[in-house]
Structure 1
Amino acid sequence: MTVARTVELEGHIIDSGTMGMCFGVVMDMGGEFEVEEFEVGRHKHAETYCRMRVMAETEEELRAILHELNQQGATVADPRDATLEAAPEDGVVPVEFYSTTNHPTYVRVDGEYVEVEDVEMDCALIVERAGPEYPQEVGDGDDADDGESDDGTRVYTKVLNAVEEGDLVVTGETGIRVEPPERPRNGGGSFGFMQGGVSSERPSASLIEEIANEMREVRENDGNVLVVCGPAIVHSGGRNALADIVRAGYIDGLSAGNGFAVHDLERDLYGTSLGVDTESLEHPRKGHKHHIYTISEIARLGGIEAAVDDGIIDEGVMYECIENEVPYVLAGSIRDDGPLPDTITDSLEAQDAIREQAQEADLVLMLSTLLHSVAVGNCLPSTTKTVCVDINPATVTQLLDRGSAQAIGMVTDIGTFIPMLRDELLE
C-alpha cells in the first residue's frame, strides 16, 4: 500500500533546473512520481507549470520527500492552512517544527498567505495573530490573495534559543510556500553574472567593475552595503584602500572579528600587522607583542572611539568607521587575545547584532574570512546580493555549501582586489 500527495511547480522551472532537482529528490529518496499536467512556457518570459503526484511506501517517507520538495519551491496542491503548535517552554520547539530556508517564504493562515518577515535559514516560524484567541491548531480555510494578512497577522523567524513558551510555531509542511530565486531571464544588468559558482579564471577587472556599479546603485537608492572583514586585509596591504572606500561613503556597516580590528589598530600604532611591517616585511624587535600592546592601549583609553577622539588613532578602517559614523560589530571568539573593549564576547549577543546588520543589507562583500563569512551568510536571505572574495577557493565553496547559494565567489588575492575596487569606485 502506498500513500500519495499532489504537488505543483510553477515558474521558470526548466532552465533554472528546479524541475529536474525535484524529480531527482523523489527518486533519490525512494519515492515515485507521476506527472499529471505539464505546460511549458513558450517564450522567454512565460512560466512553466508542472503538477505531479508523489508516492511513497509510508506516511513518514512521504513527509520527508515533501519536505525536500518544499525546499526546492514545490507547493502541495489543495492547500490547507499551516498547522500551528504552541512552544512547550522557553527555548523548546514542537517536535515537527518547520525549519526554514533562506528563500522568500509564505505561510497560509486563515485562508491567506502571509509573507514571512526577516527570512533566515535554520529558524522556526512564529505566527503572531491579531484579534481574539484562536485554537493552537489551524484548520482549513478558503483561498486568498498573496500578501500580508488584512487582519494584522504576522509570521516571522526566530532562532531556537529565542523561542518563548506559548509562541505559535509552524509545524509540518502544510500551508508553506517557498520561492527559491530563479536564474535571471537575461544576461545583462547588475549582477547578471551571479550565476557561475566559483572560479579563479574569471576576468577580475570586469567583475570588479560590476561590483562597483552595484555599490553605486545601492548608494544612489539609499540602500545598505555591509562589508565582512578578515585580518588578511591588513596583512596583504588592502587596509588603506578599504579605508578610502569607507571614507567615500560606499560602506554602511562593518562586521568583523576581534582580530581584524586589532591588526588595523596595530598598523596605525606600530606600523605592523601581527608584528610584521606590511611594507618592508621586516620583524621589528618585540614586534610579536605589538598586537597585545595594542589591545592594552585601546583598553586603557576606553575603547576605539575614545582612542580616535584622543587623536591616538588617526588612520585606518576603524578610524574611518568612527569618523564617518559607520556602525560596526566585532564578534569575539574563543581564540581572541584581550579582547578589545568593543568586542562582543557573548556569542548569542554577537549573533543578534550580526543578524540585525544582515537584515538591513542590500549588498554584502565578504573579504577573506571563512568563519565570519559563513556566520553572516547564515543570517542572509537568498535575495541579498553577496560577493565572497578569498585567495582560497575552499572558503567560497564552503559558503555556498552552507546554503548561501546566491553568493558569487572570486578567487583572488584580497590585497589586489580591494585597491582595484577602490580605484573603480573613486575614479
Structure 2
Amino acid sequence: MTVSREVELSGHIIDSGMMQACFGAIMDLGGSFEVDEFRIGRSEVEESYARLTVFADTEPELRSIVHELHQNGANPSHPVDASLEPAPDDQVVPPDFYSTTNHPTEIRYDGEWLSVDRIEMDCAVVVEEGASDGGDDVDGSGGPRAYTKVLNGIEADDSVVTGETGIRVRPPERPRDREGAFGFMQGGVSSERPSESTITKVAEAIAETKREGGSVLAVCGPALIHSGAREDLARLVRDGYVDMLSAGNGFAVHDLERDLYGTSLGMDTESLDHPRKGHKHHIYTISEIIRAGGIREAVDEELVESGVMYECVANDRPYVLAGSIRDDGPLPDTITDAVEAQNAIREQAHEADLVLMLSTLLHSVAVGNCLSSTTRVICVDINPATVTQLLDRGSAQAVGMVTDIGTFVPILAEQLLDE
C-alpha cells in the first residue's frame, strides 16, 4: 500500500532548475510521481505551473520526500493553517519545530498567508498577535506577525511553528532577462572568467545598488590589508560605496598597524621588507589603541589618521568586529561574546542589499548564514574552497570569483571612483 501527497510548483520552474531538482529529489528518496497538470510559460514574463502527485511506500518516507520538495519550492496544493505550539521554556523550542531556509517564506495563519520577517536559515518561526498600540508590528497595524528567532532568543510561551504544513517557501528564480548590472550574477564559482571584465560588472552592480538607495556591506579578512589593498578599500568607504563593515580583530589590527608603523603583521606592504622589531608592531598597535580607549578615541586624538577603520569612524560607517579564540589583545572594539557578536552581525546582514565578501572564510560563512537568499552576494578569495564552502552552506545566491584580493579591490576602486 502506498501513500501520496499532492504538491504544486509555480514560477519559472523550468529554466530555474526547480522542476528538475524536485523530480530528482523524489527519485533519490525512493518515491515516484505523476504529473497531473503542467502549463508552460511561453514568454519571459509568463510563469509555468506543475501539479504532481507524489507516492511513497510509507508515511515517514513520504514526509521525508515532501520536506525535500518544500526546500526546493514545491508546496501542498491544498494548504492548511500552520501548526503552532508554545515554547516550553526560554531557549527551548517544541519538538518538530520548523527550521527555516534562507528563502522568502510565508506561513498560513487564520486562513491568510503571512510573510516571515527577517528570514534567515536555521531559525524558528514565531507568530505573535499584534498589540492594539502597534507593539512590535512592522507596520503598526496591530495584525498578526510572523518572524524568525534564533534558538537562544526563544522565550517561554512563544508561539512556534512546527511541522511542515501551512508553510510556503519561494526560492529565488534565475531571471530570464540577463541584462543589466546584475545579469552576470548567474553562476557559481569561476577562476576562468576574465577578471577585469567581471570586476567591471561587480562595480556596476554596486553602483546600481547605491543608485537605488541600497546598502553595501563589506566582509573583510586581514589578507586584504596584507596584500596592499587597504588604501583602495578606505577610498570606497570614504566615498560611500561601502556602508557597513564586518570583520575580525585581526583585520582592524592590521589596518591600524599600517597607519601607526607602516607595516602589516610586521611587513612593509609597499617594499615587502621586514623592519627590525616589525614582528612586535601588531601587539604595540593593540596596546596603543587600548591606551587611547578604542578606535574612535584614537581617531579623535589624531593618533590614527588613515585607513579603513579611520574612514569608518570619520564617515560614520558602522562596523562590527567579531572576536575569536585566536585574538591578541583584543582591541576594545572587538566583541568577544560569541552570541553578542552573532546578533550584531545579524543586524548588519538584515540591512544589507549587496554583500562583498573579501578574503575571509569564517566571517563570510558567518554573515552568509544570516542572509536572505534574495540578498546579492559577491565572494572573492584566492582559495576556491572558500567560495564553494559558502555555496555549500546554503548561500546559493552568491557569485564566486577566485582571484587575488590585492588585484580585485584596486581595480574595483578604479572602476567606481576614477572613471
TM range (shorter): over 0.9
When normalised by structure 1's length, the TM-score is: 0.94
**Which of 224, 230, 245 is the equivalent residue of 1:233?**
224
Query: Does the alignment pair 1:77 with 2:70?
Result: no
Q: Deviations over 1:175-232 (max 9, x none)?
A: 1111101111112012111111111111222222222222222222221110001000
Contact 2:126 2:147 (8 Å CA) reproduced: yes
Alignment of 1:50-89 (within 5 A): 50-89=50-89
Residue 41 (structure 1) aligns with: 41
1:149 deviates by: 12
Distance in 1 (CA, whole Å) between partners of 2:204 and 2:181 is 7
Which SS does the other structure have where 2:193 is aligned?
coil
Residue 263 (structure 1) aligns with:
254
Q: Which residue of 2 aligns with 1:112?
A: 112
Match of 1:319 in 2: 310
Unaligned runs of 5+ in 1: 133-147
CA distance in structure 1 between the partners assigned to 2:46 and 2:55 by the alignment = 29
**Contact 2:189–2:401, Cα closer than 8 Å, also in 1:** yes
Partner AA of 1:347 in structure 2: A
Contact 2:265 2:281 in 1 (8 A): yes
Q: CA deviation at 1:101?
A: 0.5
- Aligned residue for 1:251, secondary structure, equals coil
Q: How does 1:106-185 map to 2 (within 5 A)?
A: 106-130=106-130, 152-185=143-176
CA drift of 1:65 comes to 1.1
Q: Which moved more, 1:281-290 or 1:250-259?
A: 281-290
Shift of 1:121: 0.4
Look up the match of 1:349: 340
Find the aligned partners of 1:189 and 1:424 in 2 and give their Cα distance: 17
Residue pair 1:227, 1:366 contacting (<8 A) in 2 also: yes
The 8 Å contact of residues 38 and 51 in structure 1, kept in 2 or not, is answered as: yes
Is residue 349 of structure 2 the alignment partner of residue 358 of structure 1? yes
Matched, 1:188 2:188: no
Q: For residue 30 of structure 1, report the CA deviation from its aligned partner.
A: 1.3
One-letter code of the match for 1:123? C
Distance 1:49 1:388 in 2: 33
1:286-306 Cα shifts (integer Å, max 9, x gaps): 111111111111001100011
Task: Indicate conservation of the 8 Å contact 2:75/2:168, yes or no.
Answer: yes
Work out the CA distance in 2 between the residues paired with 1:86 and 1:176: 18
The equivalent residue for 1:223 is: 214
Aligned partners of 2:286, 2:188: CA distance in 1, in Å? Answer: 39
TM superposition shift of 1:346:
0.3
- 1:155 counterpart letter in structure 2: A
Any conservation in 1 of the 2:130–2:141 contact (CA below 8 Å)?
no
Give distance in 2, aligned partners of 1:58 and 1:348: 41
Q: CA RMSD in A?
A: 1.5
1:422 maps to 413
Paired residue secondary structure (2:125): strand
Deviation larger for 162-171 or 282-291: 282-291
Using the alignment, how far apart are the partners of 1:85 and 1:306 within structure 2? 49
Distance 1:378 1:123 in 2: 10
Letter in 2 for 1:236: S
From 354, 364, 375, the counterpart of 1:384: 375
Please tell me the residue identity of whatever aligns with 2:74.
A
Q: In structure 2, what residue type is equivalent to 1:52?
A: L
Cα deviation, 1:209-257, whole Å, max 9, x if unaligned, reads 2222222222222211100010001110000110111111111100000
Shift of 1:380: 0.5
**Matches of 2:27 and 2:360 in 1, distance apart?**
38
1:43 positional shift: 2.5
Cα distance in 1 for residues equivalent to 2:14 and 2:105: 21
**SS, match of residue 272 in structure 1:** coil
Q: What is the DSSP-based 3-state SS (H/G/I as helix, E as strand, rest coil) of the residue aligned with 1:276?
A: coil
Separation in 2, partners of 1:397, 1:314: 37
CA offset digits 1:345-386 (Å, max 9, x no partner): 000000000000000001100000000000000000000011
SS in 2 for 1:4: strand
Q: Give the TM-score normalised by the residue count of structure 2.
A: 0.96
Pairwise CA distance, 1:131: 6.9
Compare 211-220 and 288-297 and name the one that shifted more.
Answer: 211-220
- Hey, what's the Cα distance between the residues in 2 that align with 1:238 and 1:150? 48
Aligned AA for 2:73? Answer: G
Moved more, 42-51 or 349-358: 42-51
Kept in 2, the 8 Å contact 1:6–1:51? The answer is yes
SS in 2 for 1:223: coil
Tell me, yes or no, if structure 1 residue 296 matches structure 2 residue 287: yes
What residue in structure 2 maps to residue 399 of structure 1?
Answer: 390
Q: Is the 8 A contact 1:105 1:119 kept in 2?
A: yes
Partner of 2:95: 95
Superposed displacement of residue 11, structure 1:
0.9
Q: Counterpart amino acid of 2:370? A: C
The equivalent of 1:202 in structure 2 is 193
Compared CA separation, residues 150 and 41, structure 1 to 2 (3 A): farther
Return the alpha-carbon distance in structure 2 between the equivalents of residues 202 and 320 of structure 1: 32
After superposition, give the CA deviation of every residue in 1:148-190 in whole Å (9 maximum; x if it has no partner). Answer: 9986110000011111110111111111111101111112012
Partner of 2:135: none
Contact 1:102 1:382 in 2 (8 A): yes
